[in-house]
Amino acid sequence: MRNTAEVWPSINMTFADLQARKANHLNGLKQRFTHLGEDLFESTWSGTICISGNNAHVFTEVEEGMYAAGCYNASGIGLAVLFGTEIANLASGNMTDSIALIQTNSDPMYLPPHP
């Protein structure tokens, strides 16, 4: 589940930063599901995501034989699996209907330097 988003000034978070996010996750679930206990989950994840200015994705041959897929705009693992599979298909020369559809999307735009 994702219950917050923020612009973070650096790539790393401290242990205290991560603990604060874990507490925030737990608090969000407890507010919605009041009957749940304190030991609701064992671990959480917090990390960076790639977002483009127009919600577009990266799906391209960067240079001959080098392919890239990414910038999922916080869409989740399903989109990452699809794009990973299809970029492997593209690199293997296996054109699919999904690749054709993905390639109709526009290129991602940069965010302003200080969102």
Sequence-separated (6 or more) residues with CB below 8 Å from residue 20: none
Q: Look at the block and give the residue holding tokens 């977002």.
A: 51
Locus of tokens 């999922």:
72
The per-residue pLDDT for range 29-63, each reduced to its tens digit, is 888 888 877 777 777 777 778 889 899 999 999 99
Residue 67 CA, distance from chain mean position: 18
Task: Give the pLDDT of residue 115.
Answer: 59
Tell me the H-state helices in the chain.
15-32, 77-91, 97-102
Measured distance CA(40)–CA(32) in Å, rounded? 13
Identify the band that residue 114 occupies on the pLDDT scale cut at 50, 70 and 90.
low
HSE toward the beta carbon, residue 91, CA cutoff 13 A: 17
The confidence score (pLDDT) of residue 65 equals 95
Domain residue limits, the chain: 1-48, 58-102
